[in-house]
Amino acid sequence: MTTQLADPPQTAAAKARGKWWALVFLALAQFMVVLDGTIVNLALPRLQAEMGISDSTRAWVVTAYALALGAFLLLGGRIADFWGRKRAFITASTGFALASLAGGLAQAPWELISARALQGLFAALLAPAALALLTVSFPGGKERGTAFAVFGSISGVGAAAGVLLGGFLTDYVSWRWCFFVNVPIAAIALVGVWKRVQESKAGGSTKYDWPGVAMAAFGLGSLVYGFTNAEHGWAAPETWGFILAGVALMAMFVVVERRVKHPLLPLRVASERNRAAAFLASFLAGAVLIGGILFINFYIQIVLGFAPFIAGVASLPMTVVLIVTAGITAKNLPVLGPKIPTAVGPIFMAAAMLWLTQVRADGSYLVNMLPALILLGIGLGLVFVPMQNLALFGVDKDDAGVASALVNASQQIGGSLGIALFSTVAAAATAAAGGAPMEALSDGYSAVFWWAAGFAVLIAPIALLLINISRSTFSGATSSDTPAVHL
């Protein structure tokens, strides 16, 4: 007979410390991925002037990243599951750092756009690997809730920090440092995960579903590209043509995934109602967060006349409130359960956007922006924490990577739709307003915020109708992987 001895107290304490250090480095990687979705935005005018880039080509500096990230996230999640999540993380961190270095050193537009596409490609492997490693490191209980609170708040913090850091670097150093800054961040995350995180990967068959890979990549890529082209008008062939192609390819993808033996996306991951609620909430929250923040910063810079760095500083209240709210939400999540905060958070988000509909050319930051930023931070903090938990709750450990990819893909596609739709709305409302330029722009931004409020409101009924997991199961009090439901 053999007897299994418990770990000595020193060993148990060391494991606990290692787990929390792992969270730091994994969250840092996620921060970098989200940061790069916005850090270049404020640098675009100066970058365009220095490199002689045309207006049409300028859009590809942003689009190339979003397109590669959205197209390959599902494949990245499966590679992480099959190849090894730690190995995938280290490879992706290295690739992301090298692509960032290439972007900072670029001398021609094609070099810069290629570097952005490579950043997106490696981010598509890095993001799901990081979230999957977090899921394995924190399998359940209150510690998992705290870990996911930190990780969940990164989406909002990273987007806002990208604006702040991008403005600072552009104003005081060079737009090239919007790329170079990723190199030390990636290096710290890589070394930390290499030393602190154990390898994990899926067992059993590790065959890739190549038809599914092709349909998912082209389908998601077509959707992102179509939404991005909406600035040319929704009636333009390059808009509706790619969107329809993307929808058709994703429908074919679902059919294929039902039939193949080793699917890229096991439909059980997306079809469970609580996780489905998380993916839908991620999609809508991405539209509000990424699209909304873009136009908030347009108003602060163009209408109120703030310099890029000062505009970034002006967005800090939202970030601070989001972090505080996420911490409070995580602490009380075992008692509240996921439904209440996911349903209440959108009310604060919608209230923020409705407040912003009152923006005027002669408005002020303290009156028109600050209250809305505080409300938005509260709403995002309430939504992101349970959303990240739900997206991975009860997922088989072999599917952790692809589930992580799906929640990231949902937010990315939502953000692309938000930017595209809101850009079209702003352009139409500005043109219809006439009058003084700043008045017309303010009217355009006001129309955008009405639409953003509508997107935010939709999250609440999704939470109320689909989330039915019990508080005890969600908090880790039960051992079953199958969510208990309230009848």
User: Which DSSP string corresponds to 168-195?
Assistant: HHHHHT-TTHHHHTHHHHHHHHHHHHHH
Whether the model clears a pTM of 0.85, i.e. scores above it, the answer is: no
φ, ψ of residue 469 to 5 degrees: the values are -75, 140
The structure tokens 């309230």 sit at 486
Per-residue pLDDT of the chain (487 residues; tens, 9 = 90+): 444 444 455 455 556 666 788 888 888 888 888 788 777 777 777 788 888 887 667 767 877 887 788 778 888 888 888 888 899 999 999 999 999 999 999 999 899 999 999 998 998 899 888 888 887 787 766 677 677 777 766 766 776 677 778 878 888 888 899 899 999 999 999 999 998 888 887 766 677 888 888 898 888 888 878 877 776 777 888 888 999 999 999 999 999 888 888 788 888 888 888 888 998 998 999 888 878 887 888 888 889 988 777 877 888 888 889 888 988 888 888 888 889 999 999 999 999 999 999 999 999 999 999 999 999 999 998 998 888 778 877 777 777 777 777 887 788 778 877 877 888 888 888 888 877 889 999 999 999 999 999 999 999 999 999 998 877 777 654 333 433 333 2
Least Cα distance to 282 among 34, 481, 486 occurs for: 34
Q: Which residue's entry shows tokens 């709403």?
A: 379
DSSP state of 289: I
CA angle (425 as vertex; 71, 297 as ends), nearest 5: 75
Q: What is the DSSP letter of 235?
A: T
Joined together, the tokens standing for residue 179 give 């790329």
Rg value, the chain, Cα? 22
What 3-state class would DSSP assign to 468? coil
Q: Which amino acid is at 271?
A: S
**One CATH from 1.20.1250.20, 1.10.3470.10, 3.30.420.40, 3.90.1150.10 for 16-198+264-474:** 1.20.1250.20
Q: Which amino acid is at 391?
A: A
